[in-house]
A = this chain, B = another copy of it.
C-alpha cells in the first residue's frame, strides 16, 4: 500500500478546476504536483489559487515527471486517446473524463495500450458516485428490488449548449445521454443487447441544422432481459432533472431530485417549494468528490477501479447505436457496433 498518491492534472478548464480543488481540499491521501494546459494562463491561475507548484503548457512534462503516480485527463475529448496512450506507456495510472473518444476504434487502441502497460484507467462517470444513485445500486445489489424488470431514467438539462458546441459534441446521445447509458449499465450490472432511440428537434431548429436532436426517448434491452427507458431533453425550464427508477419482482426504488432547500409555502394559490439544484456543478458536487476519492483509494490499495476502461467503451458504443437507430428508425443490435 502506498501512503500518498501524487497526481498531475492535464487540462485547467471547468472540470479540471473542480478536480483540482477537490483533490487539494477534500480528498485524503493525495497531492497535486503539477497542472498543464495549452492555455498557460488558465493553468497558472488555478495553480496560484490552489498553490500547485508545477505549471506547464506541455502535458509531456506531467507524464514524464517522476514524482507523479497518476494523471487526471481533463483536456478536450479529441486529445484523450493520445494522452492516454502516452501516459500508459509512461507507467502512470489514469483518470480520464468521459467520453474517452468519439471513435470506437481509437478507444479500443487506447485500451489495448493501457492493458499492455498494466496500469489502471478510470473513466469519469461521476454519477455512479452520487449518493442517491449509489443508494439505488446498493439496494438492487442487496436484492431489495428482487429480479430487476424495468429501469426508468429521466435526464434533462436546464439549457442546451451553444450551437457551435453541438456540432463537435458528437450529438445528444454521445454528449449527454452517454451518462444515462452508463447509469443504466451500472444499475443493471449487465450489458446492452439492443437499442431503439427516437429523437426530435423541438427546442431549437439550429440544433436540427447541426444534425442533432434535442429531445429523445431511448429503449435499451439488456442481455438479462431488463428493459430500460431513458428520456432526454436539452432544456427543462425548471432546471436540472435527474431521476432514476428501478422496478422488479421485490419492489421499486426511485430517487427524487435534490432541491435548493427544503421549505414549502402555502398561500391561497397552492403549495410552493424550491426547484431542483440548477445544474451539474451544484447537483453532483459530492459525486465528484466521491469518484476522485475512489480513484485515489484504488491506487493506494492496489484494488480494481470502480469504473473501468471497458465501461467507457460500452457507453460510446450504445451512444453510436442510439444515433443509428434514430437515423434509420429501427432497433439496432449491439453486434452491429464494433466491439
Report A's interface with B, CB cutoff 8 A.
25-26, 131-132, 135-136, 139, 144, 146-147, 149-150, 152, 154, 156, 196, 198, 200, 202-203, 215-217, 219, 221, 225, 227-229, 231, 233, 235-238, 241, 247, 249-268, 270-276, 329-331
Contact assessment for B253 and A227 in the assembled complex, using a CB-CB cutoff below 8 Å: no
Query: How many angstroms between the C-alpha atoms of A236 and B260 in the bound complex?
Result: 26
Indicate which residue in B215, B255, B261, B268 contacts A255 across the interface (CB closer than 8 Å).
Answer: B261
Quick one: closest B residue to A271, CB to CB? Answer: B273
- Contacting residues, chain B, for A267 (C-beta < 8 A): 144, 237-238, 250-252
- Contacting residues, chain B, for A147 (C-beta < 8 A): 202
Contact assessment for A262 and B251 in the assembled complex, using a CB-CB cutoff below 8 Å: no
Quick one: closest B residue to A134, CB to CB? Answer: B261
- Contacting residues, chain B, for A236 (C-beta < 8 A): 247, 251-252, 266
Copies of this protein chain in the complex: 4
Quick one: closest B residue to A231, CB to CB? Answer: B150
**A62 to chain B: closest CB distance in Å?**
25
Contact assessment for B237 and A249 in the assembled complex, using a CB-CB cutoff below 8 Å: yes
- Contacting residues, chain B, for A273 (C-beta < 8 A): 270-273
Quick one: closest B residue to A202, CB to CB? Answer: B149
Contact assessment for B329 and A238 in the assembled complex, using a CB-CB cutoff below 8 Å: no
- Contacting residues, chain B, for A228 (C-beta < 8 A): 217
26 A-B pairs with CB atoms under 8 Å apart are A25-B26, A132-B261, A135-B274, A144-B267, A146-B237, A149-B202, A149-B215, A149-B233, A150-B217, A152-B154, A196-B219, A196-B331, A198-B221, A216-B227, A233-B247, A237-B250, A238-B268, A251-B268, A254-B265, A255-B263, A255-B264, A256-B262, A266-B275, A270-B275, A272-B272, A330-B330
